[in-house]
């Protein structure tokens, strides 16, 4: 098929609808390998959007290539946990084997090797993506074999299947990971409850909009959610009932509908529980979304799946198909006339900020994932300006269980302010990495014991934007009232250097800042540069003060949570692991970041020289002699 | 370390900020409630009394009472009173963009962007405090190091909002190491020169071209410090290949020296330009440019 026919076929499939732009770009790139200027023009003309908007959107997402890319594109996951498993050496070895510099396409256009933000395989790293397919458990031997397959131009589809195997690693199950959920049971329970007491409950609320035709009892469902005291699992712990009710009560204009969005962007480094929920518990998640739709009166749903989990697209679509066939999705759910709800899957394309709910909605609308100015909030003005709830994958899974067993059952688990269970994604220096589900209120120490962590120095909870706990805080509890978490639990033993941990995270934020607001766009890079300066032993106490100053600016002035929390890891480690910084500082008051010798590196590269005469020898008398 | 206590509570604030930022419904209701109350009060007042005696809602801005019309943002109300709140991406003719964060104020003790926050009766707003001006100066320094600004050779010098704001906030050096980014100059258009070395990403050209000119010549695309930039609506990426005209509103909107007319160098001599005559804080009600 010619390029134009490929492009037109994708455009047709999406009804030439610009709001599908991110999906259109991805599908076309999957077939044409990259998005050339001519391709972007044809897409812009096809959807009738300004060309600058189409090229600007393509440029926003890390996974879109607006320059020719190699036939093979290898991206090493670069979370600190991958680092701890030796990804740097493996990537170097791969580059050597392929005669490559990281980040550059080989001269024959065959391959490029680079890093990418955490791919959500921290319990089975070092991980990478090859042509956006996830590979786990990299070893030196696999590097050799992979390089050979690339050199022989063997299609990725013919590579050994076990390289692409992704394990669930469920180590501890309570209610969610127990895996005994019967599809449809929660919806049936919700519906039956309505006939018992739900109709009267809803009739008492005459100020509320009338119930969607044919579905009785959404109010009863909301009442159960209220009784369950369920709070969002995406990090902020916002009351699910408040969010759902605000959406339900938001007025609809003509031609509008309510929207349910499941946030499966899971971009926070060290988090991988949503991947497992969607791999082996997808019915629970989709049923939770359907329960939510029932409660708020929504007719359209989206699963926003991060691009790193592209391999889950077809299996998830099969689950949706099966649920449609079973009458659990579609136009007549549970055979109730008018009970209408369906779910579409949208894939992200490598942008952590798209996990922020308003940025996620922008992305669903085919735009760059830029957080919106709020208010208005998504519950009133969300997807295409319609009332929208955005919830985390685990929140929906929990909601399904609330529908099935009732709010009181759920509220009896956990603590008073944090009901139910929390799934932790445990990785790092532990004997048994994987998923651990606990009732809220478990201590950090208990988790460490269960996963076989010894000599633990620190735990990074809830990812880089969360908090770093030192050993005197291990008796603290996982709960909204003490240590809230979106799920990441990265463990570092006493052999680890917490400065390097924070430096890795500072690179993450600089790479992921969307660039909309000045404090975050420039601040994240300034912080990264200072951390690199300290790592290169050019730092001084002055730089530490600069870090504090930037932290204070960014956390107050940034537009969204990314900038507000970007300095947390630096700040926490500065307070709790100060010596890790101090032993790197020069004792001077001020030291320029400029390094005369480093400045010559480009000249050395061009002349192919690396002998002593090509270096400034001021620091080392030995080198001068040589 | 003596800062550590402050830092700890600052951190708690940051967490709270994230939690709050993520709390739609709660914040929403309270905002609505307050403004709904204000509206209701106003309506009542209007109904009960003759028009002359109507009571307008007010808030305190650095101790000064500022009246406002419900629906106005803090910066709109302040501007209407001739009070200067530093800003770069806001322009009175357009909906706020909210990206530069120069207009950050403290509302009842919490930071917020005055160009996007609605004024509410009874709120206390801090504006030109040392704390806030220090933050603004740091933001200005960020602009100066992320782009390439050489004011003495810039046609915009004296008419430039960034330069004038830097004078106003007594910024004497860029402070941080310069990034010296590699940014493009586009001289393809017969009448207009684009020098992106000076772009501050305010998006005003994007908005003006879309909303006033109906053309969509520009779009803000890409991500992060190195990626984010103005994209131009042509396959070549050149301005000459668009329908941009020197008479477009977007041709005169840029607050800095990116979008410049060709063949008009230094028509008004340095020393007689807009901010040479009066500092920016005394030209509050002048529409820029
Ligand atoms: C930078 C940033 C990234 C985020 N990433 C995610 C994410 O990957 N998954 C998620 O569920 N929530 C994420 N959130 C939180 C969402 O904005 C939102 O609060 C959440 O999806 C709400 O769901 P919940 O109420 O069920 O927790 C992120 C927030 C920010 C500021
Ligand atoms: S745009 Fe303004 S700040 Fe930048 S160089 Fe020109 S005059 Fe100076
Ligand atoms: S070109 Fe000028 S108006 Fe456009 S975004 Fe840059 S600074 Fe703003
Ligand atoms: S909101 Fe993305 S950079 Fe600040
Ligand atoms: S003027 Fe308010 S953010 Fe720029």
A303 vs A166, A300, A327, A494, CA distance in Å?
Answer: 20, 11, 19, 40
Q: Give ligand 5 pocket residues (Cβ under 6 A).
A: B 87-90, 98-103, 113, 115
Interatomic CA distance for residues A135 and A74, integer angstroms? 10
CB-CB under 8 Å, B4 with A373 = no
CB atoms within 10 A of CB B247: 9
Q: What pLDDT, on the 0 to 100 scale, is given for residue B287?
A: 60
Q: What pLDDT, on the 0 to 100 scale, is given for residue A542?
A: 92
CB-CB under 8 Å, B235 with A41 = yes
B265, with CB counted inside 10 A (0-12, 13-18, 19+), is exposed
- Asked whether this chain's domains B2-128 and B147-282 adopt the same fold, the reply is no
List the one residue out of B117, B90, B93, B122 whose CA is nearest residue B105: B117
A564 vs A298, A401, A483, A568, B229, CA distance in Å?
Answer: 32, 34, 18, 8, 23
Interatomic CA distance for residues B141 and A108, integer angstroms? 43
pTM of the full structure: 0.89
CB-CB under 8 Å, A568 with B14 = yes
Spatial neighbors of A584 by CB under 8 A, at least 6 apart, are A499, A534, A535, A537, A539
List the one residue out of B98, B91, B78, B144 whose CA is nearest residue A557: B98
Chain A residues in contact with B113 by the CB 8 A cut-off are 373, 559
Q: What pLDDT, on the 0 to 100 scale, is given for residue B54?
A: 63
Helix then strand then coil, in percent of chain A rounded to 5, is: 50, 15, 35
Chain A residues in contact with B4 by the CB 8 A cut-off are 575
Nearest CA in chain A to B112: A557
Q: What pLDDT, on the 0 to 100 scale, is given for residue B95?
A: 95
From first CA to last CA, the distance across chain B in angstroms is: 48
Interatomic CA distance for residues A162 and A145, integer angstroms? 13
Residue whose Cα lies nearest atom 5 of ligand 1: it is A355
Interatomic CA distance for residues B144 and B152, integer angstroms? 14
Q: Within chain B, how many helices (H) and strands (E) appear?
A: 8, 10
Q: What pLDDT, on the 0 to 100 scale, is given for residue A196?
A: 45
Helix (H, G, I), strand (E, B) or coil at A208: coil
Interatomic CA distance for residues A258 and A240, integer angstroms? 16
Q: What pLDDT, on the 0 to 100 scale, is given for residue A593?
A: 59
B93 vs A548, B33, B103, B200, CA distance in Å?
Answer: 37, 28, 17, 19
Residue from B100, B141, B142, B154 whose mutation best tests the ligand 2 pocket (most atoms within 8 A of CB): B154
Q: Where are the alpha helices (DSSP H) in A16-107?
A: 21-32, 37-47, 51-60, 80-84, 87-97
Instruction: Pick the more confident residue, A1 or B174.
Output: B174
CB atoms within 10 A of CB A465: 25
For residue B288, give the ligand nearest its CA.
Answer: 3
Identify whether the C-beta of residue A496 lies closer than 8 Å to the C-beta of residue A277.
no
Q: Which of B135, B138, B216 sits opposite A50 (nearest CB)?
A: B216
Q: Which of B14, B111, B176 sits opposite A526 (nearest CB)?
A: B176
Chain A residues in contact with B11 by the CB 8 A cut-off are 555, 568, 571-572
Residues linked to residue B66 through DSSP beta bridges, in sequence order: B59
* CA A511 from centre of chain: 14
> Is the Cβ atom of A567 under 6 angstroms away from ligand 1?
no
Nearest CA in chain A to B216: A50
Identify whether the C-beta of residue A485 lies closer than 8 Å to the C-beta of residue A270.
no
Could you tell me the residue ranges of all domains in chain B?
Answer: 2-128, 147-282
Residues linked to residue A343 through DSSP beta bridges, in sequence order: A301
Q: What is the pLDDT of residues A425-469, one digit of tens each?
A: 999 999 999 999 999 999 999 999 999 999 999 999 999 999 999
CATH fold for domain B147-282 = Alpha-Beta Plaits (3.30.70)
CB pairs under 8 A between A and B: 211
Between the CA of B222 and the centroid of ligand 2 the distance, in Å, is 23
Q: What is the pLDDT of residues B54-70, one digit of tens each?
A: 689 999 999 999 999 99
DSSP per-residue letters across A539-595: --HHHHHHHHHHHHHHHHH-SSHHHHHTTHHHHHHHHH-HHHHHTTS-SSS---S--
Q: What is the pLDDT of residues B69-82, one digit of tens each?
A: 999 999 999 999 99
Q: What CATH code is assigned to B2-128?
A: 3.10.20.30
Identify whether the C-beta of residue A307 lies closer than 8 Å to the C-beta of residue A349.
yes
Helix (H, G, I), strand (E, B) or coil at A468: strand
CA distance B277 to chain A (A): 29
Q: Which residue has the tokens 């050199």?
A: A151
Interatomic CA distance for residues A527 and A522, integer angstroms? 9
ipTM value greater than 0.95? no
> Is the Cβ atom of A394 under 6 angstroms away from ligand 1?
no
Q: Which of B21, B25, B98 sits opposite A242 (nearest CB)?
A: B25
For residue A508, give the ligand nearest its CA.
Answer: 1
Spatial neighbors of A416 by CB under 8 A, at least 6 apart, are none
Helix (H, G, I), strand (E, B) or coil at A272: coil
Residues linked to residue A68 through DSSP beta bridges, in sequence order: none
Identify whether the C-beta of residue B208 lies closer than 8 Å to the C-beta of residue B288.
no
Interatomic CA distance for residues A119 and A62, integer angstroms? 13
DSSP per-residue letters across A393-440: HHHHHHHHHHHHH-HHHHHTSB-SSSBSEEEEEEEES-SS-EEEEEET
CB-CB under 8 Å, B13 with A556 = yes
Chain B residues in contact with A473 by the CB 8 A cut-off are none
List the one residue out of A327, A330, A300, A293 whose CA is nearest residue A218: A293
For residue A522, give the ligand nearest its CA.
Answer: 4
Q: Which residue has the tokens 């759920």?
A: A410
pLDDT means over runs of 10, chain A (626 residues): 93 98 98 97 98 98 95 97 97 96 93 97 97 97 97 97 97 96 95 57 37 60 96 95 95 95 98 98 98 94 98 98 97 87 98 98 98 95 98 98 97 97 98 98 98 98 97 97 97 97 97 97 98 94 95 96 96 95 76 67 79 66 38
> Is the Cβ atom of A356 under 6 angstroms away from ligand 1?
yes
Spatial neighbors of A393 by CB under 8 A, at least 6 apart, are A233, A262, A263, A264, A266, A273, A274, A277, A278, A285
Interatomic CA distance for residues B95 and B97, integer angstroms? 7
pLDDT surpassing 50 at residue B276: yes
Interatomic CA distance for residues A202 and A183, integer angstroms? 26
Interatomic CA distance for residues B178 and A598, integer angstroms? 17
Q: What pLDDT, on the 0 to 100 scale, is given for residue B265?
A: 81
The CA R_g of chain B, rounded to the nearest whole Å, is 21
Q: What pLDDT, on the 0 to 100 scale, is given for residue A216?
A: 52
Instruction: Give the strands of the sheet with B58-61, arranged side by side.
Output: B64-67, B58-61, B124-126, B104-107, B110-113
CA distance B4 to chain A (A): 7
CB atoms within 10 A of CB A134: 23
> Is the Cβ atom of A565 under 6 angstroms away from ligand 4?
no
> Is the Cβ atom of B160 under 6 angstroms away from ligand 2?
yes
Angle, helices A21-32 vs A51-60, to 10°: value is 70
From first CA to last CA, the distance across chain A in angstroms is: 62
Interatomic CA distance for residues A588 and A595, integer angstroms? 16
CB-CB under 8 Å, B138 with A549 = yes
Q: Give me the domains of chain A, ranges plus CATH numbers.
A: 3-60 (no CATH), 72-167 (3.40.30.10), 185-411 (3.40.50.11540), 421-496 (3.10.20.600), 499-582 (1.20.1440.230), 596-625 (no CATH)
Spatial neighbors of A37 by CB under 8 A, at least 6 apart, are A55, A66, B235, B236, B237
DSSP conformational letter for A3: H
List the one residue out of B105, B33, B110 whose CA is nearest residue B74: B105
List the one residue out of A458, A543, A463 whose CA is nearest residue A509: A463
């Amino acid at each position: 098929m010619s390029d134009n026919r490929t492009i037109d076929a994708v455009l047709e499939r999406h009804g030439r609808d610009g709001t599908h732009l991110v999906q259109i770009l991805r599908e076309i790139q999957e077939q044409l390998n990259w998005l050339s200027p001519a391709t972007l023009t044809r897409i812009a003309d096809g959807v009738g959007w300004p060309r600058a908007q189409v090229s600007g959107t393509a440029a926003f997402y890390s996974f879109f290539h607006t320059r020719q890319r190699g036939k093979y594109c290898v991206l090493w996951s670069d979370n600190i946990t991958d680092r701890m498993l030796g990804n740097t050496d493996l990537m170097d070895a791969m580059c050597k084997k392929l005669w490559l510099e990281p980040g550059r396409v080989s001269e024959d256009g065959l391959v490029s090797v680079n890093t990418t933000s955490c791919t959500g395989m921290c319990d089975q790293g070092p991980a990478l993506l090859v042509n956006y397919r996830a590979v786990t458990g990299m070893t030196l031997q696999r590097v050799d074999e992979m390089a050979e397959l690339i050199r022989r131009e063997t299609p990725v589809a013919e590579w050994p299947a076990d390289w692409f195997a992704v394990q669930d690693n469920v180590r501890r199950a309570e209610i969610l990971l127990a895996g005994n959920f019967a599809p449809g049971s929660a919806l049936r329970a919700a519906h039956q409850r309505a006939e018992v007491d739900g109709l009267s409950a809803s009739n008492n609320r005459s100020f509320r909009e009338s119930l969607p035709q044919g579905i009785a009892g959404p109010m009863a469902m909301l009442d159960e959610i209220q009784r369950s005291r369920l709070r969002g699992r995406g990090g902020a712990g916002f009351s699910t009932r408040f969010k759902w009710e605000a959406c339900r009560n938001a007025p609809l204009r003509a031609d509008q509908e309510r929207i349910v969005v499941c946030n499966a962007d899971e971009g926070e480094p060290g988090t991988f529980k949503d991947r497992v929920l969607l791999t082996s518990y997808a019915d629970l998640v989709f049923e939770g979304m359907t329960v939510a739709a029932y409660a708020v009166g929504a007719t359209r749903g989206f699963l926003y799946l991060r691009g790193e989990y592209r391999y889950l697209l077809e299996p998830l679509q099969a689950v949706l198909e099966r649920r449609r066939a079973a009458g659990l999705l579609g136009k007549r759910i549970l055979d109730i006339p008018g009970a209408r709800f369906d779910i579409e899957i949208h894939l992200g394309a490598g942008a952590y900020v798209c996990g922020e709910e308003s940025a996620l909605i922008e992305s669903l609308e085919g735009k760059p994932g830029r957080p919106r100015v709020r208010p208005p909030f998504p519950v009133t003005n969300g997807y295409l300006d319609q009332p929208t709830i955005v919830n985390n994958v685990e929140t929906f899974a929990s909601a399904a269980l609330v529908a099935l067993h009732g709010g009181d059952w759920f509220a009896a688990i956990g603590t008073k302010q944090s009901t139910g269970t929390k799934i932790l994604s445990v990785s790092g220096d532990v004997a048994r990495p994987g998923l651990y589900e606990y009732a809220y209120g478990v201590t950090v120490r208990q988790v460490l014991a269960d996963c076989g962590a010894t000599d633990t120095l620190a735990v990074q909870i809830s990812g880089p934007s969360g908090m770093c706990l030192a050993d005197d805080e291990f008796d603290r509890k996982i709960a909204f009232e003490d240590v809230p978490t979106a799920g990441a639990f990265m463990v570092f033993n006493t052999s680890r250097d917490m400065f390097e941990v924070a430096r890795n995270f500072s690179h993450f934020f600089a790479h992921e800042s969307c660039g909309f607001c000045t404090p975050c766009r420039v601040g994240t890079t300034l912080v990264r540069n200072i951390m690199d300066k300290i790592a290169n032993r050019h730092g001084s106490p002055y730089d530490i003060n600069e870090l504090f100053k930037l932290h204070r600016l960014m956390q107050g002035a940034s537009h969204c949570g990314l900038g507000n929390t970007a300095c947390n890891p630096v700040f926490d480690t500065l307070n709790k692991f100060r010596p890790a910084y101090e032993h790197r500082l020069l004792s001077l008051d001020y030291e320029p970041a400029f390094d005369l010798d480093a400045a010559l590196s480009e000249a050395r590269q061009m002349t192919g020289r690396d002998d002593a005469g090509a270096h400034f020898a001021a620091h080392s008398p030995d080198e001068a002699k040589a | 370390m003596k800062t550590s206590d402050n830092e700890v509570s600052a951190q708690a604030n940051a967490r709270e900020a994230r939690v709050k930022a993520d709390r739609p419904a709660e914040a929403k209701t309270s905002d609505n409630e307050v403004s709904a109350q204000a509206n209701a009060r106003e309506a009542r007042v209007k109904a009960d009394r003759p028009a002359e005696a109507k009571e307008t809602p007010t808030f305190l801005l650095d101790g000064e009472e500022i009246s406002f019309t419900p629906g106005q943002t803090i910066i709109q109300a302040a501007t209407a009173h001739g009070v200067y709140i530093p800003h770069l991406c806001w322009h009175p003719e357009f909906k706020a963009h909210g990206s530069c964060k120069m207009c950050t104020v403290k509302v009842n003790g919490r930071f917020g962007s005055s160009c996007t926050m609605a004024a509410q009766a009874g709120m206390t707003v801090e504006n030109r405090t040392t704390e806030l001006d220090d933050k603004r100066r740091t933001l200005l320094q960020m602009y100066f190091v992320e782009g390439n600004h050489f004011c003495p050779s810039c046609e915009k010098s004296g008419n430039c909002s960034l330069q004038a704001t830097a004078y106003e906030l007594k910024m004497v050096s860029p402070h941080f190491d310069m990034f010296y980014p590699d940014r493009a100059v586009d001289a393809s258009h017969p009448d207009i020169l684009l020098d992106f070395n000076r772009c501050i990403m305010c998006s005003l050209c994007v908005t003006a071209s879309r909303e006033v000119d109906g053309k969509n010549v520009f779009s803000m695309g890409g991500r992060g410090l190195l990626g984010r930039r103005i994209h131009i609506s042509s396959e070549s990426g050149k301005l000459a290949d668009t329908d941009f005209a020197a008479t477009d509103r977007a041709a005169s909107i840029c607050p800095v020296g990116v979008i410049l007319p060709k063949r008009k160098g230094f028509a008004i001599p340095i020393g007689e330009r807009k901010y040479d005559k009066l500092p920016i804080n005394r030209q509050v009600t002048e529409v820029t440019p």
